[in-house]
């Protein structure tokens, strides 16, 4: 019996890791590209069916990737994502934006609501025909585009002010008897 060539011999478990990583990468593709189905020359019911199957294939691929990669790999990914999303200390204040840029960003944010109301009015006041679903989709995609463009124009300073909107302004104070006083407590 001829022994395998040393360059082609792979340690056990390499195929599981490669397949798991491939499935994990694929699981994000349907989430990012499901909008393309709306541009296919199919009926609305076929587009919805294709969209559901496409999204479900990504979900199944994600579950299979988790099963193949194991608990330790998934925990490591969670820690990296958590570290990426949580910021430690800000080295400097966000850069100030000018009045014109602020007004443009707010106009884009508020303007992003118009396509949704236009689609709602189109559905309530008119009788949409089967070919009108693409028009509704374009309206909704335009609203999303305006929203994200507005957030991009407003920049980091707007995000900092928006984050402060959701912060609790006070803290509960501890009393001498060990109980806590605060809103809703006596």
The 10s digit of each residue's pLDDT in 85-133 is: 886 665 566 567 788 888 898 899 889 888 888 888 877 887 777 767 7
Tell me whether strands 173-174 and 180-181 are parallel, antiparallel or unpaired: antiparallel
Please tell me the predicted confidence (pLDDT) of residue 22: 92
The overall average pLDDT reported for the chain is 78
pTM for the predicted model, two decimal places:
0.44
Six token digits for residue 1: 């019996």
Looking at residues 5-31, what average pLDDT do you find?
79
The answer to whether residue 5 scores a pLDDT higher than 70 is no
For residues 153-164, average pLDDT: 78
CB 24 within 8 A of CB 65: yes
Q: Is 65 a residue whose pLDDT tops 60?
A: yes
Instruction: Tell me the percentage of the chain whose pLDDT exceeds 90.
Output: 4
The pLDDT value recorded for residue 6 is 58
User: Are the C-beta atoms of 142 and 115 separated by less than 8 Å?
Assistant: yes
């Amino acid at each position: 019996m001829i022994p395998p060539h040393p360059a082609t011999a792979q340690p056990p478990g390499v195929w599981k890791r490669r397949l798991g990583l491939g499935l994990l990468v694929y699981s994000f593709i349907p989430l990012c590209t499901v909008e393309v189905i709306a541009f296919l020359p199919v009926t609305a019911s076929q587009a919805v069916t294709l969209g559901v199957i496409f999204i479900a294939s990504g979900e199944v691929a994600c579950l299979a990737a988790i099963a193949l990669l194991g608990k330790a790999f998934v925990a490591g990914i969670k820690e990296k994502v958590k570290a990426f999303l949580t910021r430690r200390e800000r080295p400097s204040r966000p850069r100030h934006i000018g009045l014109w840029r602020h007004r443009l960003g707010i106009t884009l944010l508020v303007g992003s609501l118009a396509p949704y109301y236009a689609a709602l009015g189109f559905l309530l006041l008119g009788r949409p025909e089967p070919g009108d679903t693409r028009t509704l989709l374009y309206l909704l995609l335009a609203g999303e585009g305006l929203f994200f463009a507005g957030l991009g124009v407003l920049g980091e300073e707007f995000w900092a002010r928006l984050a402060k909107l959701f912060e609790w302004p006070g803290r509960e104070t501890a009393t001498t008897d060990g109980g806590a006083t605060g809103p809703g407590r006596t």
